[in-house]
């Protein structure tokens, strides 16, 4: 082969994550560290990409190579694949570069057939174990390779249990297992019209292909989109000698974290099941025991495990999430990885590791995903409202936060309701990977079964969503769409409130209050502020938003949109009067009614920002947005304004635009109607003068921003109006107040000619929403319809309105920064589009040399951390 596509674990190491995937690299690393890891090898992510390049098949060469490594594995394990006398059984597990828990597929016990199983039974002297393993293998193979639903097999198991009047799988005996295997294989043949494959090598190749295929299954696809993982990365496959947790009561399997993933507390945290195989623990079918009980059952293995935990944490310098199996008392490590954790835990772990001297502050900053902070910023239950409420039940506090919404019973329902803007709580017996999208759109998740490491718990923590799991007090009747708690019924019309930090469940709606930044969070954010170079401003149109952003650490307002101020109350009437005016004097008269209100708005915002800088953008949207649309409203307006109905209709129709996004808006309004810019300048300057008078120490310097500029002359025309009006007012007031005039860069031409624009503009603020629309040539309002096809066909992998398109839009931004600074070295550069609060975009804005980003108040802490991470990354280069 032209390339090395396979690696024994002993050939790899922890740094080879891109090639071997996270699981493969860490197995190799643990083996290098001398830890007990069953032998195995990894088929690389490059092999996965080759599989897709070869038309979704393994080439003959690749198959041959896999068999070469199978031979090596046989030598190492001193067992033989398919040999009943000394059989090698293997697990086949996916392992991508980034951890995608539960998203792809796993097959255990591969290598079994009717002969080999008898050999295993004889060798282990444990036929029940042998057939338990065999029936599991048939089920997993059928599911993963052939796409037969797991639930069909669960039904067969349930039939057996009923027949035998038992509740637990463990109560089924050898004969049951034998019969179940036969039943499984019969179902397989009936469904697929082919025998279950008996050749272990065929089993292996088909399993490897299935894992590669699973890289593109819908839930993996959705997970990648949510976590910005490129589909081009591919997954590796790990083929590993089986060790067995289901050989008897001296066997077991478990998962554990070196610290509490919910709170961050430094204490081993995990669960295990004796006489069970891997998936049993996380699948939530049997409720497992907490890890400390292992000390009582298998003290030696527990001690060894504790020791390994310490070593792994010291080695990886981060909280670890591990899987292990105990086979006849002997411990085997099957996986380690940096553990997923809640935002609270992430902050505590980061602070503790710094205090423990294990990592630097820079390391700590890099350890927390900025997006996670979001979960700490949203409202918590109002303690007073909480006092009055009585929990109806209690489950496990699986993922913290407060959630309130109406009940839904399926992921599909959740998605439907969320699209209607409704807040919902997803209530499930247990969740499965298929539910992931529904979980994402729900306020909170409540499950009947499953522990703290169940699927629901792990995924919810990753999402920063509130989750209460394993609440057995609830009965669900999905068909009737009812849950019953202690005899009381709740339907889709009822509210539930969940407290993910306590596990409490309330049967009512509970009010919430805003979050605050304190403790570890506060300490951590201070480190971020010390590190970052980018300033952080906020987009806020009201004193309330401004104050909230200030409490979240905003250093100013990067964008006050003034158009909202024209819609409120009586103002819309004056605005409409302005629009239908035919002369400049009429327009001035109408605007003069808005002036005092607008000035009051600005005073409120200046007061709230306590002297921090405030950038005010002049009127931006197309005029027709202000006009009434219904016949009734139009008739009323004509009456109110005492104008002819037909005249009014004519005005409204003359304002119609085919493409309002590219129409009469932004500074084009001020060019057509200079009176608007005059009024807004008067309001801004008078407001600043008034507040400066009350608080001379604030020394407010108004920043006036002209939107949608594409040409220097256009900016100059509006700026000349601003300067004329402002200078006159300031002189009349006998003040020496300064002010600045700048522009949005949101039209491609403005970016291309930024040097010319900078002759007039004292600052630029990139409006990345419009800039993205114009650069891609599609409007945000309309793109939804076809962009979904683009994602399906992998033409785009991410929404350019969510993350800035660094290649295209970014190139324009980069040009504009360079050209602008060349013309005016001290020009102040920022961004106020929605990308200003998105971490990967912030990293780009840092690299390209902006002075600040501006984002919505709730995104301010996220932006602070993302900016710090960008600075750390730069300092490490």
User: Catalytic: 293?
Assistant: no
Q: Does 822 engage in binding with a copy of itself (CB under 8 A)?
A: no
Exactly one of 796, 802, 822, 874 binds a copy of itself (CB under 8 A); that residue is 796
Active-site option among 832, 835, 846, 855: 832
Q: What are phi and psi of 398, to 5 degrees?
A: -80, -30
Is residue 505 classed as helix, strand or coil in its secondary structure? strand
664 binds a copy of itself (CB under 8 A): yes
H or E element, residue 209: helix 200-214
Least separation, in Å, of the C-beta of 635 and a copy of itself?
A: 23
Residue from 293, 811, 847, 873 that binds a copy of itself (CB under 8 A)? 811
Rule CB under 8 A: is residue 812 a binding residue for a copy of itself? yes
Q: Is 723 a binder of a copy of itself (CB under 8 A)?
A: no
Closer CB to a copy of itself, 34 or 785, in the complex: 785
Q: Using alpha carbons, list the distances in angstroms from residue 828 to 548, 741, 743, 762.
A: 25, 11, 11, 7
- Please pick, among 309, 351, 455, 835, the residue that the annotation labels catalytic: 455
Instruction: Tell me if 323 contacts a copy of itself by CB under 8 A.
Output: no
Q: Is 777 in the site for a copy of itself (CB under 8 A)?
A: yes
**Alpha-helical regions (H) of 326-454:** 343-355, 361-367, 374-377, 383-388, 411-419, 436-441
Q: Is 561 annotated as a binding residue?
A: yes
- The reply to whether 315 belongs to the active site is no
What's the min distance (Å) between Cβ of 441 and a copy of itself? Answer: 22
Any idea of the CA torsion for 138, 143, 149, 153, to the nearest 10 degrees? Answer: 20
Handedness of CA 846, 850, 852, 854 (dihedral sign): negative
| Residue 55 in contact with a copy of itself, rule: CB under 8 A | no
- Distance, CA of 515 to CA of 506 (rounded, Å): 20
**Residue 707 touching a copy of itself (CB under 8 A):** no
Least distance in angstroms from the C-beta of 104 to a copy of itself: 24
Nearest-CA neighbor of 44 among 61, 66, 64?
66
Q: Which residue from 265, 299, 672, 738 is in contact with a copy of itself, where contact means CB under 8 A?
A: 672
In the bound state with a copy of itself, the residue whose beta carbon lies nearer, of 40 and 748, is 748
What is the C-alpha R_g of the chain? Answer: 32
State which H helix or E strand residue 150 sits in: helix 150-164
Site track 616-655 with a copy of itself (rule: CB under 8 A), x = hit: --------------------------------------x-
Q: Distance between CA atoms of 99 and 322, rounded to whole angstroms?
A: 13
What's the half-sphere exposure (Cβ side, CA atoms, 13 Å) at 217? 21
**Residue 3 binds a copy of itself (CB under 8 A):** no
- Take residue 852 and report the two structure tokens written for it: 């600040």
Q: Which position has the token pair 């297992």?
A: 177
Tokens of 586: 């009429």
User: Terminal CA-to-CA distance of the chain, rounded, Å?
Assistant: 35
Q: Is 746 annotated in some ligand binding site?
A: yes
Q: What angle do CA 273, 278, 283 make, to 5 degrees?
A: 80
770 in contact with a copy of itself (CB under 8 A):
yes
Residues with Cβ < 8 Å from 80, sequence gap 6 or more?
Answer: 74, 86, 87, 88
User: Per CB under 8 A, which region of 394-402, 545-553, 787-795, 843-851 contacts a copy of itself?
Assistant: 787-795
Q: Tokens in use for 44?
A: 């690389």
271 assigned binding-site residue: no
| Nearer Cβ to a copy of itself (631/672) | 672
- Is 843 annotated to bind a ligand? Reply is no
Considering only 169, 318, 675, 714, the residue that binds a copy of itself (CB under 8 A) is: 714
Is 532 marked as a binding-site residue? no
Based on CB atoms, which residue is closest to a copy of itself, 168 or 795?
Answer: 795
C-beta atoms surrounding 170 within 10 Å? 17
Q: How far apart are CA 334 and CA 38, in angstroms?
A: 8
Residue among 752, 799, 821, 840 that touches a copy of itself (CB under 8 A): 752
Number of residues that bind a copy of itself (CB under 8 A): 50
The answer to whether 767 is a known ligand-binding residue is: yes
Q: How far apart are CA 802 and CA 791, in angstroms?
A: 14
Which listed residue (11, 18, 250, 711) binds a copy of itself by CB under 8 A? 711
| Annotated binding residue 768 | yes
Q: Which of residues 3, 387, 793, 877 is near a copy of itself by CB under 8 A?
A: 793
* Strand 252-257 to 320-327 pairing: antiparallel
Task: Tell me the residue length of the chain.
Answer: 877
Separation of alpha carbons 180 and 166, rounded Å: 15
- Residue ranges of the binding site for substrate: 561, 617, 746, 767-770
- Residue ranges of the binding site: 561, 617, 746, 767-770
Interface ranges with a copy of itself (CB under 8 A) = 654, 657-664, 668, 671-672, 708, 710-711, 713-714, 717, 746-749, 752-753, 756, 770, 773-779, 781-783, 785-786, 789-790, 793-796, 805, 807-809, 811-812
Question: Which residues are known catalytic residues?
Answer: 455, 832
């Amino acid at each position: 082969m032209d390339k090395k596509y396979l690696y024994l674990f002993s050939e790899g190491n922890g740094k080879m994550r891109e090639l071997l995937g996270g699981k493969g690299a860490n197995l190799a690393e643990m083996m290098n560290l001398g830890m007990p890891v069953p032998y195995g090898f990894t088929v690389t992510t490059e092999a996965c990409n080759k599989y897709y390049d070869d038309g979704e098949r393994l080439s003959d060469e690749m198959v041959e190579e896999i068999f070469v490594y199978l031979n090596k594995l046989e030598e190492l394990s001193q067992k033989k694949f398919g040999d009943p006398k000394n059989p090698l059984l293997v697990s086949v597990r996916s392992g991508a570069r980034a951890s995608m828990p539960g998203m792809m597929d796993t097959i255990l016990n591969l290598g079994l057939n009717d002969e080999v199983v008898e050999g295993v039974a004889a060798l282990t002297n444990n036929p029940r174990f042998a057939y338990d393993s065999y029936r599991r293998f048939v089920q997993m193979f059928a599911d993963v390779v052939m796409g037969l639903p797991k639930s069909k097999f669960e039904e067969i198991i349930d039939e057996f249990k009923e027949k035998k009047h038992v509740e637990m799988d463990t109560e089924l005996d050898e004969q049951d297992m034998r019969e179940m295997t036969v039943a499984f294989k019969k179902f397989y043949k009936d469904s697929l019209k082919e025998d279950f494959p008996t050749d272990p090598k065929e089993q292996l190749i088909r399993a490897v292909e299935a894992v590669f295929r699973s890289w593109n299954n819908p839930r993996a696809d959705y997970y990648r989109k949510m976590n910005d993982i490129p589909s081009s990365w591919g997954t590796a496959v790990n083929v590993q000698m089986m060790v067995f947790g289901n050989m008897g009561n001296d066997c077991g399997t478990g998962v554990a974290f070196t610290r509490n993933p919910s709170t961050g507390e430094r204490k081993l945290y995990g669960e295990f099941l004796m006489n069970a195989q891997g998936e049993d623990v996380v699948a939530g079918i049997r409720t497992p025991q907490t890890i400390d009980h292992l000390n009582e059952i298998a003290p030696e293995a527990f001690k060894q495990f504790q020791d390994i935990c310490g070593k792994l944490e010291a080695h990886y310098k981060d909280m670890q999430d591990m899987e292990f199996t105990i086979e006849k008392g002997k411990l085997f490590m099957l996986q380690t990885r940096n553990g997923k954790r809640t935002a609270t835990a992430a902050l505590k772990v980061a602070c503790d590791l710094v205090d423990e001297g294990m990592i630097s502050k820079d390391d700590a900053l890099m350890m927390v995903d900025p997006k996670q902070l979001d979960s700490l910023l949203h409202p918590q239950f109002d303690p007073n409202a909480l006092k009055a409420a009585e929990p109806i039940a209690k489950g496990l506090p699986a993922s913290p936060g407060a959630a309130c919404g109406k009940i839904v019973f399926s992921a599909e329902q959740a998605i439907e309701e969320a699209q209607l803007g409704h807040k919902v709580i997803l209530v499930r017996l247990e969740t499965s990977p298929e539910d992931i999208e529904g979980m994402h759109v729900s306020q909170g998740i409540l499950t009947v079964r499953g522990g703290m490491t169940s699927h629901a718990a792990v995924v919810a923590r990753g999402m920063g969503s509130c989750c209460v799991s394993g609440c057995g007090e609830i009965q669900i009747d999905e068909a009737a769409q009812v849950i019953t708690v202690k005899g009381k019924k709740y339907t889709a019309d009822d509210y539930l409130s969940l407290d993910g930090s306590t596990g409490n469940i309330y049967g009512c709606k509970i009010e919430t209050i805003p979050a605050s930044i304190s403790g570890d969070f506060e300490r951590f954010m201070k480190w971020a502020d010390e590190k970052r170079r980018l300033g952080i401003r906020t987009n806020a149109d009201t004193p309330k938003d401004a104050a909230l952003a200030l409490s979240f650490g905003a250093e100013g307002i990067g964008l006050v949109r003034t158009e909202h101020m024209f819609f409120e109350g009586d103002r819309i009437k004056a605005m409409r009067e302005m629009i239908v005016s035919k002369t400049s004097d009429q327009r001035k008269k109408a605007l003069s009614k808005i002036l005092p209100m607008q000035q009051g708005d600005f005073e409120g915002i200046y007061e709230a920002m306590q002297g921090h800088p405030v950038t005010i953008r002049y009127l931006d949207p197309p005029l027709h947005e202000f006009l009434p649309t219904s016949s009734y409203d139009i008739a009323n307006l004509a009456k109110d304004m005492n104008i002819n109905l037909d005249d009014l209709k004519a005005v409204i129709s003359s304002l119609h635009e085919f493409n309002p996004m590219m129409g009469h808006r932004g500074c084009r309004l001020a060019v057509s109607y200079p009176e608007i810019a005059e009024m807004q300048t008067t309001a801004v300057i008078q407001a600043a003068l008034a507040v400066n008078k009350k608080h001379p120490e604030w020394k407010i310097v108004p920043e006036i921003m002209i939107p949608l500029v594409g040409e220097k002359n256009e900016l100059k025309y509006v700026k000349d109006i601003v300067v004329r009006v402002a200078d006159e007012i300031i002189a009349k007031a006998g003040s020496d107040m300064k002010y600045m005039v700048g522009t949005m860069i949101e039209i491609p031409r403005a970016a291309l000619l930024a040097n010319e624009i900078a002759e007039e503009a004292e600052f630029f603020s990139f409006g990345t929403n419009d800039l993205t629309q114009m650069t891609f040539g599609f409007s945000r309002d309309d793109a939804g319809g076809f962009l979904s096809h683009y994602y399906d066909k992998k033409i785009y992998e991410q929404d350019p309105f969510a993350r800035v398109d660094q290649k295209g839009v970014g190139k324009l931004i980069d040009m504009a920064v360079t050209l602008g600074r060349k013309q005016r070295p001290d020009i102040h550069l920022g961004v106020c589009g929605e990308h200003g609060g998105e971490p990967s975009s912030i990293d780009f804005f840092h690299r390209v040399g902006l002075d600040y980003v501006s984002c919505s108040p709730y995104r301010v802490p996220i932006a602070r951390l993302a900016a710090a991470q960008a600075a750390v990354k730069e300092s490490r280069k």
